[in-house]
Amino acid sequence: MMEIIERLKVKGITLTPQRIAIVEFLGKSVAHPTVEDIHKAIKRKYPTMSMATVYSTLRLLKELGEIQELSIMKRGKACFDPNPKLHHHFLCRKCGKILDMDVDCPIIKKGWVSGCRVEEAQAYLYGVCSECLKKEQSAKE
Amino acid sequence: MMEIIERLKVKGITLTPQRIAIVEFLGKSVAHPTVEDIHKAIKRKYPTMSMATVYSTLRLLKELGEIQELSIMKRGKACFDPNPKLHHHFLCRKCGKILDMDVDCPIIKKGWVSGCRVEEAQAYLYGVCSECLKKEQSAKE
């Protein structure tokens, strides 16, 4: 986490306590929070923190390549991943959980699609997670 | 396009001329514009249009499910697609073009990943498009 703070300093970014709080919250986060989740968490320490500040800080971190915004749309809202590297995600439509997915992409293995050379991929997968499937199964039995 | 306007009216959304201009611009757009592209285009007709208005209108349309924000990051910036349905995209790293990709997803065919049932997918593919590959080839010859 301190590494990001150092990189932001080097880039000349003004580091207000609110911005640092957002960076720290994202760094600890594994649940792919939405803007509202982040705002709610940070407001506990900084009650005057506005949604506009959260949006602008996220936009800045995104444009600097420090985080990524996922377009997987958790309950209709965009959410954020502190890992900016391309990787796959799965959204469970039952419980709303977003999981990182370690899956070999068959398109990447092939390397070509419609005459284009494919080098990297990030997939958003939608369905029902294994935990919810188990619950469905138990309810049936 | 008029259909979106009607749906927004039904949902009780205030339709300022600026909002209508953004909706109309997106409706005609096939190039997956960024916020800056949209702002630049709309400013010609509405010189006082602010980036904040563009951001807030896009956020509204996104939350209403009328458009989608792509996280494919065109030159580091998010871009927008007037088609909210899940479909695949390809970003050419040479020319920066974003293409809609009609490709059968092998994960969907299989239907399962890590114990999760996969029903739908949207992939972001990155590489070099066929046009740029041809140019590369011609340069070599």
Count Cβ atoms below 10 Å from residue B12 Cβ, excluding itself: 6
Residues of chain A with pLDDT under 70: 1, 74-76
State how far residue B112 is from chain A, nearest Cα, in angstroms.
9
List the pLDDT tens digit at each of the 141 positions of chain B: 678 899 999 999 999 999 999 999 999 988 899 999 999 999 999 999 999 999 999 989 988 889 988 877 766 677 899 998 889 999 999 999 999 998 887 788 889 999 999 999 999 999 999 999 999 889 888
Identify whether residues A26 and A70 lie together within a single domain. Answer: yes
Q: Which of B79, B99, B91, B92 is nearest to B34 (CA)?
A: B79
Identify whether residues A74 and A96 lie together within a single domain. Answer: no
What is the average pLDDT score of chain A? 90
CATH number for the domain including B16? Answer: 1.10.10.10
Identify whether residues B68 and B90 lie together within a single domain. Answer: no
Model ipTM over 0.85? no
Identify whether residues B90 and B75 lie together within a single domain. Answer: no
Domain count, chain A: 2
Q: Which residue of B has its CA nearest to A118?
A: B127
Identify whether residues B68 and B93 lie together within a single domain. Answer: no
In terms of Cβ atoms closer than 10 Å to its own Cβ (0-12, 13-18, 19+), residue B30 is: exposed
Identify whether residues A128 and A90 lie together within a single domain. Answer: yes
Instruction: Give the CA count within 13 Å in the CB-facing half-sphere of B33.
Output: 22
Identify whether residues B78 and B90 lie together within a single domain. Answer: no
pLDDT tens per residue, range A28-68 = 988 899 999 999 999 999 999 999 999 999 999 988 889 98
Identify whether residues B32 and B63 lie together within a single domain. Answer: yes
Q: State the count of interchain CB pairs (< 8 A) between A and B.
A: 124
State how far residue A45 is from chain B, nearest Cα, in angstroms.
26
Among all chains, which residue has been given the structure tokens 């939405």? A34
Q: Which of B55, B102, B113 sits opposite A103 (nearest CB)?
A: B113
Q: Which residue of B has its CA nearest to A68?
A: B71
Identify whether residues B70 and B121 lie together within a single domain. Answer: no
Q: Test B71 with A76 for CB contact under 8 angstroms.
A: no
Identify whether residues B67 and B16 lie together within a single domain. Answer: yes
Tokens encoding A77: 């809202």
Report the C-alpha gap between B25 and B75 in whole angstroms: 21
Identify whether residues A36 and A102 lie together within a single domain. Answer: no
Domain edge (last residue) among A68, A84, A100? A84
A101 contacts in B (CB within 8 Å)?
113-114
CATH number for the domain including A129? Answer: 3.30.1490.190
Identify whether residues A74 and A30 lie together within a single domain. Answer: yes
In which domain, by residue range, is A62 found?
Answer: 1-84
Domain edge (last residue) among A61, A84, A107? A84
Tell me the whole-structure pTM to 2 decimals: 0.80
Quote the pLDDT of residue B30.
Answer: 86
CA angle A124, B64, A65 (to 5 degrees): 45
